């Protein structure tokens, strides 16, 4: 008899989600679906607000990567003012984004995912979390906590608070970095680099043991999308959009964010509040693409900093060229922290960071603007239309995580098919399915601009559509 397993809630991800696993008559996995169960409706209720408020409001889409919304919103505002922001403004925005990449990736690796790697997929679910990590390896936990703290403090030193700093504005940023701030960051860099090396070595060791995970956690061909710099280098703030395929072939390059509607479409499925973006020229669902750390590492020609470039070579060797396994997201995330730390190092003595010319002013010169930035989880687009007074008439947001929706569904289906056999479904099997989602480090608050909760429930659904078994891991 066919059945469905539901995982509810999915835990150690950011946001509310469930997973259904559909079994056929023989008890074999037929399909798996990732349901996002929250929605807040920012695109509608922002209407009528001044566009200058958008950074403050949209930051509240997500407490994990508020900086991404701040930056995308400010960049959209730059276009509405039609100004060129001062060099200091851009460098300061970049610095904050590097701080954010560091904190967000550290959170994903240490707090959320490492309990799976270090305590084990099948370990006691009551302890398989950051507190369990604290108990089993307090020094590693402390190092990870301090690495995240480093990123959060970079944000705070610039914007006066760690979460929802109202700092980036249309035209630039409000305040420069202080000299004390510069000193603090410079002094803490070596420790952060050390922690990152520790994590990287640890993960590479684990990779040697995790060959099955590499093969089964979402190993498939797809497109990859993200921003790259002028010379094809890794980019997180400016640059232009590139799509590559799983053979490293460039499918589209130098795309402008202003034309995003030409190459990105959004589909809806009734079983999730998370929409399904796709690459328009290939249609839905063939236009499946991945964004975020894995995509950025795959599409760039190089990082442009020495250590990260050395690691990139090794990464590509291990992956055999383009990394097509979603499990490599974890690895790519560590490379990006390294690149972020190196870039902070390069930037930190730049005199512009403490300059007072951080902001250009202007009136409403354009009635429409589209801004893009790389959030930790992938490319983020804000699109506003305003009236002559700068009041919002229409908003569209394309959020990083949503763009991985097709890929996340494909990943969990692959994992479920491999690990779930027969009717005896263990907690550890289900945890692996969830871990497939964790690899993407989805931010569901963001992706549905929704109401943040991220439990996961697994339901076992029979061929007749009857729920046979609900699995609540406790």
Partner 1 sequence: MSKIKFATVWLAGCSGCHMSFLDLDEWLIELAEYVEVVYSPVGSDLKEYPEGVDVCLVEGGVANEDNLELIHLIRKRTKTLVSFGDCAVTANVPAMRNMLGGSEPVLRRGYLELADETPQLPYAPGIVPELLDRVLPVHEVVPVDIYMPGCPPDAHRIKATIEPLLKGEKPKMEGRDMIKFG
Least Å from the CB of residue 448 to partner 1: 8
Contact pattern from residue 393 through residue 422 relative to partner 1, giving x for each residue in contact according to CB under 8 A and a dash for the rest: ---x--------------------------
Q: Enumerate residues 282-321 that contact ligand SF4 by CB under 6 A.
A: none
**Residue 7 touches which of ligand SF4, partner 1, none (CB < 5 to 8 A by kind)?**
partner 1
Q: Which of 368, 455, 463, 469 binds partner 1 (CB under 8 A)?
A: 455
Provide the minimum distance between the beta carbon of 54 and partner 1 in the complex, in angstroms, as a whole number: 12
Minimum gap (Å) between residue 158 Cβ and partner 1: 16
Site track for ligand SF4 across 13-52, x = CB under 6 A:
----------------------------------------
Contact 291, 404 (CB under 8 A): yes
Q: Which residues contact 383 (CB under 8 A, 6 or more apart)?
A: 76, 260, 368, 369, 370, 371, 395, 396, 397, 398
The option from ligand SF4, partner 1, none interacting with 280 (CB < 5 to 8 A, set by class) reads partner 1
Is the Cβ of residue 68 or residue 324 nearer to partner 1 in the bound state?
68
State the Cα–Cα distance between residues 154 and 144, nearest whole angstrom: 16
Cβ proximity to ligand SF4, 60 vs 182, nearer residue = 60
* 30 interacts with, out of partner 1, ligand SF4, none, CB within 5 to 8 A per kind: none
Least separation, in Å, of the C-beta of 319 and partner 1? 29
Among 45, 190, 314, 387, binds partner 1 (CB under 8 A): 45
* 210, 453, 463, 468: residue in contact with partner 1 (rule CB under 8 A): 453
For residues 60 and 40, the answer to whether their CB atoms sit within 8 Å is no
Least separation in angstroms between CB 16 and ligand SF4? 13
Q: Which of 54, 62, 214, 334 binds partner 1 (CB under 8 A)?
A: 62
Q: CA dihedral defined by 424, 428, 432, 434, rounded to 10 degrees?
A: 90
Q: Which stretch binds partner 1 (CB under 8 A): 136-144, 204-212, 305-313, 330-338?
A: 136-144
Q: Which of 27, 63, 87, 229 binds ligand SF4 (CB under 6 A)?
A: 63
Residue from 40, 182, 204, 302 in contact with partner 1 (CB under 8 A): 40
| 269 interacts with partner 1 by CB under 8 A | yes
Cβ distance to ligand SF4 smaller for residue 49 or 318: 49
Helix H, strand E, coil C: the string for 184-199 is HHHHHHHHHHHHHHHH
Tokens of 172: 């630039």
Query: Of 60 and 280, which CB lies nearer to ligand SF4 in the complex structure?
Result: 60
In the bound state with partner 1, the residue whose beta carbon lies nearer, of 307 and 459, is 459
Number of residues that bind ligand SF4 (CB under 6 A): 2
Which of positions 349-388 make contact with partner 1 (CB under 8 A)? none
**60 binds ligand SF4, rule: CB under 6 A:** yes
Give me the residues paired with residue 279 across strands: 264
Tokens of 49: 């607000």
Give least dist CB 62 to partner 1, A.
Answer: 5
How many residues in the shown chain lie near partner 1 by CB under 8 A? 85
Subset of 160-189 contacting ligand SF4 (CB under 6 A): none
- CA 61 – CA 55 distance, rounded (Å): 10
The answer to whether the CB of 458 falls within 8 A of the CB of 430 is yes
CA–CA separation, 64 and 446 (whole Å): 9
Angle at 333 between CA 329 and CA 334, to 5 degrees: 125
Using DSSP, state whether 212 is helix, strand or coil: helix
Q: Are strands 17-23 and 456-461 parallel, antiparallel or unpaired?
A: parallel
Q: According to the 3-state scheme, what is the secondary structure of 29-94?
A: EEEEEEEECCCCCHHHHCCCCEHHHHHHHHHCCCCCCHHHHHHHHHHHHHHHHCCCCCHHHHHHHH
Measured CA to CA, the distance from residue 49 to residue 36 in angstroms comes to 28
Report the SS3 class of residue 253.
Answer: strand
Strands 29-36 and 250-255: unpaired
Q: What stretch of H or E contains 206? A: helix 179-209
The answer to the question of residue 146 lying near ligand SF4 (CB under 6 A) is no
What residues form DSSP beta bridges with 225?
243
CB of 62 to ligand SF4, least distance (A): 8
Q: Closer to ligand SF4 at the Cβ: 60 or 318?
A: 60
From partner 1, ligand SF4, none, interface partner of 445 (C-beta below 5 to 8 A by class): partner 1
The DSSP call for residue 474 is -
Q: What is the number of other CB atoms lying within 10 angstroms of the CB of residue 201? A: 11
Site for partner 1 in 151-180 (CB under 8 A): 152, 161-164
Q: Which residues bind ligand SF4 (CB under 6 A)?
A: 60, 63
């Amino acid at each position: 008899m066919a059945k469905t397993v539901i995982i509810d809630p999915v835990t150690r991800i950011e946001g509310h989600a469930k997973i259904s696993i559909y079994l056929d008559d023989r008890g074999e996995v037929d399909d798996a679906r990732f349901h996002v169960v929250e929605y807040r409706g920012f695109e509608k209720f922002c209407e009528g607000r001044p566009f200058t408020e958008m950074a403050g409001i949209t930051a509240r889409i997500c407490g994990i990567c508020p900086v991404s919304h701040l930056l995308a919103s400010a960049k959209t505002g730059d276009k509405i003012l039609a100004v060129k922001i001062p060099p200091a403004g851009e460098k300061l925005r970049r610095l904050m984004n590097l701080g954010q990449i560091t904190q967000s990736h550290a959170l994903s690796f240490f707090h959320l995912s490492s309990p799976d790697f270090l305590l084990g997929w099948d370990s006691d679910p009551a302890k398989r979390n950051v507190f369990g990590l604290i108990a089993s390896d307090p020094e590693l936990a402390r190092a990870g906590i301090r690495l995240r703290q480093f990123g959060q403090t970079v944000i705070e030193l610039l914007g006066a608070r760690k979460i929802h700093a109202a700092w980036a504005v249309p035209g630039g940023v409000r305040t420069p970095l202080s000299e004390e701030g510069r000193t603090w960051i410079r002094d803490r860099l070596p420790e952060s680099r050390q922690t990152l090396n520790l994590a990287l070595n640890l993960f590479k060791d684990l990779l040697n043991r995790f060959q099955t995970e590499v093969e089964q956690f979402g190993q498939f061909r797809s497109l990859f999308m993200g921003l790259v710099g002028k010379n094809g280098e890794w980019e997180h703030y400016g640059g232009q959009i590139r799509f590559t395929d799983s053979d490293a072939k460039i499918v589209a390059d130098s795309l402008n964010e202003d034309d995003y509607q030409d190459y990105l479409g959004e589909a809806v499925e009734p079983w999730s509040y998370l929409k399904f973006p796709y690459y328009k020229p290939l249609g839905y669902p063939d236009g499946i693409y991945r964004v975020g750390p894995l995509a950025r590492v795959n599409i760039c020609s190089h990082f442009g900093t020495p250590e990260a470039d050395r690691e990139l070579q090794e990464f590509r060797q291990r992956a055999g060229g383009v990394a097509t396994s979603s499990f490599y997201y974890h690895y790519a995330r560590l490379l990006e922290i390294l690149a972020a730390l190196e870039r902070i190092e390069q930037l930190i003595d730049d005199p512009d960071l403490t300059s007072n010319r951080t902001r250009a002013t202007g009136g409403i010169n354009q009635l429409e603007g589209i801004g893009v930035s790389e959030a930790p989880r992938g490319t983020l687009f804000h699109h506003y239309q305003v009236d002559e007074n700068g009041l919002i008439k229409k908003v569209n947001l394309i959020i990083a995580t949503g763009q991985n929706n097709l890929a996340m569904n494909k990943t969990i289906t692959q994992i479920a098919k491999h690990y779930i056999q027969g009717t005896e479904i263990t907690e550890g099997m289900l945890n692996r399915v969830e871990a497939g989602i964790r690899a993407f480090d989805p931010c569901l608050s963001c992706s549905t601009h929704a109401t943040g909760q991220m439990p996961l429930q697994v339901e076992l659904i029979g061929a007749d559509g009857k729920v046979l078994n609900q699995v609540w891991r406790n």
